[in-house]
Amino acid sequence: MKKKSKLKFQIISIISLIAFFAIWQLLTDVYRVIPSTMLPSPVKVLQTIGMKWSVKKPDGSTLPQHILASLQVSGLGFCLGAVIGVPLGVIMAWWEKADLSLKPVFDFVRTIPPIAWIPIMIVLLGIGVVAKASIVFLSAFIPCVINSYTGIKATKTVHIWVAQTFGGSKTRTLFKVAIPTALPYIFTGLKVSLNSSWGALVAAEMLGSASGLGYMIQMGRLLSRADLIVVGMIVIGIIGTILSAFLDSLEKIVVKGEVR
């Protein structure tokens, strides 16, 4: 695309963003078309973010505490997902018996959304960070399993043949050849899994929590405070974007020569 037209489109994008916020502001504060109980104006949202940064009222923790609690829950869930999911995927792909026996169970468990597990998790694991992390784990471990499974399966049979001709045992081949080749797939799996573990955060915090962004949104609902709700949503959105941007750049560095 020629230089001139690329610039033109960038300008349009900026204008459309500004228009989005301007319309939002006009509809709420200026012309009062939408009552503030239904949708707070961008200015009100910014005020609330400012206020919530240091004030605990009315939902019991400041914004940084909420963010920390949420990162803790989805972080722990993600680690569980990766630590259990990746080896599970590798085992299922490498040993035929494991694949045959584990795959149907995995496919069935996969269809039950994490939120449906909440009532059971309360009884099994209580309401601590571990219970919440288990809800995140349920949505985080699936991409890990799938991608490491595809990664190992995609390992060219020639690689295995080459390793075996040089006398490598099955397991040695697995670690020397199959896993290194599957690394790019495994990394994509981790990337997807981190995104979905951040997404599952809201569900996890429905389990019963005292702080966290999902909890803040719930409190916004209980106290009919639309500004708390919107602030919670926006902060979740921003952190989600930062996470995936960070992962994309990490992927570019780590997985240089990968086959895409």
Partner 1 sequence: MKKKAAAVLMAAITAAAASLGTVTALAAEEEPVTIRVATLAQQLSLPMYYISEQGWDVENGFKLEITTFSQGTGINEALGSGLVDVCTIGAAGVNSCCIYDAVYLFSHEDSAAGQQVMVRNDSPIAQEKGYLEDYPELLGSPETIKDATILLPMGTGSQINVDTYLDRFGLTEDDVTLVNMDTAPAYQAFVSGEGDMAHTCYPTADEYDPEQYTVAFSMNTVGLPYYDNIIASRSFFEDEKNHDALVALCVQLLRTAETFKDDTVLMDTMMAWYELNGQTVDRDKIEHQVLERPFFTYEDLSSIDATASFKIMAEFYATIGNITEEDLEHVFANMDDTIISEALSVYAETYL
Partner 2 sequence: MRHNYGKIRVVLYGAGTFLVLLSLWQIAAMTSNSEIGFPTPVAVIGRFFHMLSNKVGSYTIWGHTLWSLSRVVIGYLLACVLGVVLGLTMGWFPYVKALFKPVFDLLRPIAPLAWIPLAILWFGIGEKYKYFLIFIAAFVPFTLNSYAGAVRVDRQLIGAARMLGASHSQVFFRIVVPSAVPSIFSGAQVALSNAWMTMLAAEMVRSSEGIGWLIIAGQGINDMTQMIAGMLAIGIVGFLLANGMRLLERRCLVWNNQGK
Question: Of 76, 118, 116, 112, which is closest to residue 207 (Cα–Cα)?
Answer: 118
Cα–Cα distance measured from residue 255 to residue 257, given in angstroms and rounded to the nearest whole number? 6
CA dihedral of residues 179, 185, 187, 193 (deg, nearest 10): -120
Q: Decide if residue 32 touches partner 1 (CB under 8 A).
A: no
Q: Decide if residue 100 touches partner 1 (CB under 8 A).
A: no
Cα–Cα distances (Å) from 232 to 164, 184, 217, in that order, read 55, 34, 6
Cα–Cα distance measured from residue 127 to residue 40, given in angstroms and rounded to the nearest whole number? 32
Residue 150 binding result from partner 1, partner 2, none, given CB thresholds of 5 to 8 Å by partner type: partner 2
Spatial CB neighbours of 157, under 8 Å, sequence gap ≥ 6: none
Looking at 28, 70, 211, 218, which residue binds partner 2 (CB under 8 A)?
218
Q: Decide if residue 222 touches partner 1 (CB under 8 A).
A: yes
Looking at 50, 119, 180, 237, which residue binds partner 1 (CB under 8 A)?
119
Residue 169, helix vs strand vs coil = coil
Residues in 100-119 at the binding interface with partner 2, rule: CB under 8 A: 100-105, 107-109, 111-119
Residue 113, helix vs strand vs coil = coil
Question: Of 212, 23, 55, 57, which is closest to residue 132 (Cα–Cα)?
Answer: 212
Taking the least distance from each CB to partner 2, the nearer of 12 and 172 is: 12
Residue 240 binding result from partner 2, partner 1, none, given CB thresholds of 5 to 8 Å by partner type: partner 2
Residue 244 binding result from partner 1, partner 2, none, given CB thresholds of 5 to 8 Å by partner type: partner 2
Question: Of 150, 155, 241, which is closest to residue 187 (Cα–Cα)?
Answer: 150
Cα–Cα distance measured from residue 132 to residue 109, given in angstroms and rounded to the nearest whole number? 18
Residue 241 binding result from partner 1, partner 2, none, given CB thresholds of 5 to 8 Å by partner type: partner 2
- Site size toward partner 1 (CB under 8 A) is 22
Distance of CA 92 to the CA centre of its chain: 24
Looking at 5, 54, 157, 165, which residue binds partner 2 (CB under 8 A)?
5
Q: Decide if residue 209 touches partner 1 (CB under 8 A).
A: yes
Looking at 12, 55, 162, 250, which residue binds partner 2 (CB under 8 A)?
12
Q: Decide if residue 22 touches partner 2 (CB under 8 A).
A: no
Residues in 33-52 at the binding interface with partner 2, rule: CB under 8 A: 37-39
Binding mask 137-156 for partner 2 (x = CB under 8 A): ---------x--xx--x---
Taking the least distance from each CB to partner 1, the nearer of 78 and 215 is: 215
Q: Decide if residue 241 touches partner 2 (CB under 8 A).
A: yes
Question: Of 168, 179, 187, which is closest to residue 249 (Cα–Cα)?
Answer: 187
Looking at 3, 4, 123, 260, which residue binds partner 2 (CB under 8 A)?
123
Q: Decide if residue 17 touches partner 2 (CB under 8 A).
A: yes
